[in-house]
A = this chain, B = another copy of it.
């Protein structure tokens, strides 16, 4: 019967990843660098359930997410639920639910896994993790100042060299005022042109021109004006008639203080960034990888002024960003920033003779109780094979406890890198390992 058995596949669900210990170490390392950075700014971690009511996303997330990318279904109690495709709706629900008790500014972060039904590709999977950093209760550009400093500090803490990334900043009201006042478009035209601008970098110049024409009244004049706007810098953008002057001075003030804080070379004004989400209302930014083989947005965010409006009459201005693990990993790999993440495992104890098992196991217990990571073999294979196991598992040191060591109250330690072997007293062994072997 066993011969005809159909085995199940060992592959994970399409578009997802298994994290074997090597990959898990990398993920843990990436998350710990991100966590350390945001914790150092006084941010506190939160989390919510991965299932939320479908209504939350219907109300809050963009059309594309809800209609095409959402993992939603009816539960056994007839509730329509969805696996979170982004963290912001959960964040908004939680902040609104405890608004009166949260001392401001509220500084929160989370590292949730998120799900979207997508065609998997480079940098795009169905399940990914994302650092979410948000700050609430500050209306001035100092909120942007701090958030951009965090965005910058994270990459610096990963060791990103100057020039490896660029922080592009704009303001939602710049584009709004340009479309409404400079181009004098109506609401339908604005909707169509915005969508096209968002995908401009992904299509050819010809395709862009032919697709935008139907939304314009006087394409021959308006298209050059669009190019002027998209190519403008912080000086020239003010010269375009109808541009919102407050947004321009907001960004100027922000840039002035960021420069005083040493964030200058990687900073650039870029009116072409759009950010797909509907809820941004103010300053928006994107961090770009400058690696020619991975020229893409690493992460981005912005200000949203009406985040909790779905839950409450209160107003609370917030700003935040999300940084995904897949794009970050591509960035780190591209710039050679992933260190040798050897295991932090240090001492491996083979079983020299079957009769010595309990002695060996007791020694490993004693070491652990004194803060040394110690893994023991559980049977006495040939000693060469046991050392191979230690090597495969990535250990640096092997401790031997044989008959003669037991008689003399010692252990032998072998350094698998240098090949050196020497005898150490059993008494006070943990202290010796910590002091002389930096374990």
- Assess the A44–B21 pair: CB atoms within 8 A: yes
- In the bound complex, residues from chain B placing their C-beta under 8 Å from that of A98 are 20
Tell whether A375 pairs with B56 under 8 Å between CB atoms, given A50-B113, A97-B10, A97-B11: no
Number of interface residues of A (CB under 8 A): 97
A149 contacts B by Cβ under 8 Å: yes
- Assess the A10–B71 pair: CB atoms within 8 A: no
- Assess the A18–B393 pair: CB atoms within 8 A: no
Distance from A256 Cβ to chain B, minimum over Cβ atoms (Å):
10
A55 contacts B by Cβ under 8 Å: yes
Query: Which residue of B is nearest A42, CB measured?
Result: B375
Q: For window 1-58 of chain A, which residues contact chain B by CB distance below 8 Å?
A: 2, 7-14, 16-21, 24-25, 27-28, 39-42, 44-53, 55-56
- In the bound complex, residues from chain B placing their C-beta under 8 Å from that of A53 are 8-9, 13
Alpha-carbon separation in the docked complex, A14 to B146 (Å):
36
- Assess the B77–A142 pair: CB atoms within 8 A: no
Query: Which residue of B is nearest A6, CB measured?
Result: B310
Distance from A121 Cβ to chain B, minimum over Cβ atoms (Å):
15
A397 contacts B by Cβ under 8 Å: no
Distance from A305 Cβ to chain B, minimum over Cβ atoms (Å):
15
Distance from A79 Cβ to chain B, minimum over Cβ atoms (Å):
7
- Assess the B8–A59 pair: CB atoms within 8 A: yes
A42 touches which one: B41, B50, B52, B345 (CB < 8 A)?
B345
Q: Which of A266-274, A275-283, A361-369, A415-423 contacts B (4 or more CB under 8 A)?
A: A361-369
A357 contacts B by Cβ under 8 Å: yes
- In the bound complex, residues from chain B placing their C-beta under 8 Å from that of A142 are 357, 361, 378-379
**Which of A98, A107, A375 has most B Cβ within 10 Å?**
A375
A313 contacts B by Cβ under 8 Å: yes
- In the bound complex, residues from chain B placing their C-beta under 8 Å from that of A107 are 375
Distance from A396 Cβ to chain B, minimum over Cβ atoms (Å):
13
A178 contacts B by Cβ under 8 Å: no
A76 contacts B by Cβ under 8 Å: yes
- Assess the B8–A310 pair: CB atoms within 8 A: yes
Tell whether A20 pairs with B311 under 8 Å between CB atoms, given A49-B12, A107-B375, A393-B42: no
- Assess the B52–A96 pair: CB atoms within 8 A: no
A127 contacts B by Cβ under 8 Å: yes
> B-facing mask of A53-84, CB < 8 A → 1, else 0?
10110010000000010010111110101010
- In the bound complex, residues from chain B placing their C-beta under 8 Å from that of A373 are 39-42
- Assess the B48–A18 pair: CB atoms within 8 A: yes
> B-facing mask of A330-368, CB < 8 A → 1, else 0?
000000000000011100100000000110011001001
- Assess the B374–A42 pair: CB atoms within 8 A: yes
A291 contacts B by Cβ under 8 Å: no
- Assess the A257–B8 pair: CB atoms within 8 A: no
A378 touches which one: B51, B77, B143, B376 (CB < 8 A)?
B143
Alpha-carbon separation in the docked complex, A370 to B2 (Å):
63
A41 touches which one: B2, B46, B375 (CB < 8 A)?
B375
Query: Which residue of B is nearest A2, CB measured?
Result: B313
- Assess the A40–B257 pair: CB atoms within 8 A: no
Distance from A1 Cβ to chain B, minimum over Cβ atoms (Å):
12
Alpha-carbon separation in the docked complex, A128 to B93 (Å):
20
- Assess the A93–B10 pair: CB atoms within 8 A: yes
A7 touches which one: B76, B113, B261, B310 (CB < 8 A)?
B310
Query: Which residue of B is nearest A40, CB measured?
Result: B368
Alpha-carbon separation in the docked complex, A81 to B362 (Å):
46
The 29 listed contacts between A and B (C-beta, < 8 Å) are A2-B313, A8-B53, A8-B311, A9-B311, A10-B311, A12-B93, A13-B49, A13-B51, A13-B52, A16-B48, A18-B94, A18-B97, A19-B46, A20-B98, A21-B108, A40-B374, A42-B375, A50-B83, A50-B113, A73-B74, A77-B117, A103-B388, A138-B379, A140-B378, A145-B361, A145-B378, A149-B365, A260-B358, A261-B365
